Structure formats: C-alpha cells, structure tokens
C-alpha cells in the first residue's frame, strides 16, 4: 500500500483518487470546493476542504508522508504551479500535475517540480492510432516512438505458431501475451509452438513503425 495526495477533485482528480483507493492505496484528497470534497469523502481515507497551495494545510493532510501526489486544478495554472511547489517543500518525492497547455508544461519543467499529464492530448493521440488501424484494440505508449498494442490476429496467421511466424526477426516486435477473448484467458510468455486461434488477440511491443507494418496486415 502506498500513500497518495490528490489536490483538485474535478472529474480527473476525483477519478484518480477513487481508482487509487480501489487499488488498495491510502488516499488523502483536497479541494477548495466543499461540495466536491463531500462527494469524494465517503470513498477515500481522508478528504478535506482547503487550499492545496498552502504548505501548512498540506502538512496537516499528511503530505510529508506521501509517496506521490497528483495535482489537478483545472484551468488555474497558477494554483497548480504553487501546489506543486508546496508539495515539493513538503518533501513529496513524486509529483504529477495535470496540464492544459504547452506553456503550462514549460513552466513546470523550468521549476523542476513535476511530471506532467496532458490527458486530452494523450487521449487524442491514442484515439488517432486506434482509428488509423481497425486491427488495434488498445494502445499503451512506452516512450517516444515505442508502444505496446493489443491487436487482433490477422486471418493469415490463424493456425500458425509464433515460432513459425518469426515476428522478432521479420518485424522487430515481441509478443508479450496472448489473450483468448472467448474464454478471457490471458497467457503471458505464450507457448511459441501453440497455433494461434481466430479468437486470440496479441499484446505486442516494439517501435511504432514496426508495429504499423504488422497491423497493416490485419
């Protein structure tokens, strides 16, 4: 179990707080809006109304003992920057800030206080990848130019084994797992000699341009 502080309980912040709590972590949540606090309070360990830019408020919340913090103050760029600085002063080792613009990102990078999250841009990029190829079911960005993708098994691969397909040699990609969506069985480190079924999906990882070559075949 880890300890998290979430500042700002709009849609994004509240969703993060609730999900972390569901995962078994200890969550302390804070917002200046009492109504938002009251909506979240029954579902996390501790939720209070207060100013997330105030060092003393954060100390009372237990931020000095947190493993990480998430800042989501909506359109208020100043509040997010000041909250990140206050969290740093509390000694929080890992600070994530939801940003709304490139300028917002640049300010936080200059202050060296946070990792930035731009959910709208990230969601748009992932959606673009998914609609570009109907074969892609899910995408997780691993870094610049690299990702893991869940893809349907191309019809011409059905009945053939991973060893026979030689995907690492031919395409420079690796199959991390096989998921049979009929039985919902997931096999990590799949048997290289097992024939693929048309009910299988593959979790593959590699460079985006290499993955595109494979998904184009679907």
Total number of domains in the chain: 2
Final residue in a domain of this structure, among 90, 117, 144: 117
CA atoms within 13 A on the CB side of 161: 7
Its domain, for residue 8, covers 3-117
CB burial string 20-53: b at 16+ within 10 A, e below: bbeeebbbbbbbbeeebbeebbeebeebebbbbb
CA atoms within 13 A on the CB side of 208: 15
Q: CA separation (Å) from 64 to 57, 58, 99?
A: 11, 8, 23
Q: How is residue 200 written in tokens?
A: 């299988």
Q: Are residues 112 and 126 in the same domain?
A: no
Q: Who's near 33: CB < 8 A, 6+ residues apart?
A: 9, 49
Q: Are residues 19 and 105 in the same domain?
A: yes
Q: Are residues 92 and 130 in the same domain?
A: no
Q: Are residues 83 and 134 in the same domain?
A: no
Final residue in a domain of this structure, among 88, 117, 146: 117
Final residue in a domain of this structure, among 75, 100, 117: 117
Q: Are residues 99 and 184 in the same domain?
A: no
User: How many Å is the Cα radius of gyration of the chain?
Assistant: 22
Of 191, 203, 199, 204, the C-alpha closest to 164 is 191
CATH number of the domain within which 50 lies: 3.40.50.720
Q: Digits of tens for pLDDT over the chain (218 positions)?
A: 899 999 999 989 999 999 899 999 999 999 999 999 999 999 898 999 999 999 999 999 999 999 999 999 988 999 999 999 999 999 999 999 999 888 998 999 888 887 888 766 655 554 454 444 444 445 566 667 787 888 888 888 999 999 999 999 998 988 888 888 778 788 888 899 999 998 888 888 888 888 777 766 55
Q: Are residues 100 and 145 in the same domain?
A: no
């Amino acid at each position: 179990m880890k300890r998290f502080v979430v500042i700002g309980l709009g849609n994004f912040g509240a969703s993060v707080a609730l999900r972390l709590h569901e995962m078994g972590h200890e969550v302390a949540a804070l917002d200046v809006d009492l109504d938002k606090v009251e909506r979240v309070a029954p579902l996390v360990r501790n939720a209070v109304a207060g100013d997330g830019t105030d060092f003393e408020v954060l100390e009372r919340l237990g931020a000095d003992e947190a493993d990480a913090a998430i800042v989501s103050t909506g359109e208020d760029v100043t509040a997010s920057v000041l909250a990140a600085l206050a969290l740093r002063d509390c000694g929080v080792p890992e600070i994530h800030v939801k940003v709304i613009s490139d300028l917002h990102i640049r300010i936080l990078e200059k202050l060296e206080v946070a990792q930035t999250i731009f959910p709208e841009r990230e969601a748009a990029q992932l959606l673009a990848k998914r609609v570009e190829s109907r074969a892609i079911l899910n995408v997780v960005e691993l870094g610049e130019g690299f990702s893991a993708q869940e893809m349907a098994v191309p019809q011409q691969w059905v009945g053939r084994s991973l060893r026979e397909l030689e995907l690492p040699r031919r395409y420079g990609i690796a199959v991390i797992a096989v998921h049979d969506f009929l039985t919902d069985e997931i096999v990590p480190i799949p048997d290289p000699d097992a024939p693929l079924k048309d009910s299988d999906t593959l979790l593959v990882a590699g460079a985006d341009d290499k993955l595109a070559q494979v998904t184009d075949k679907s």
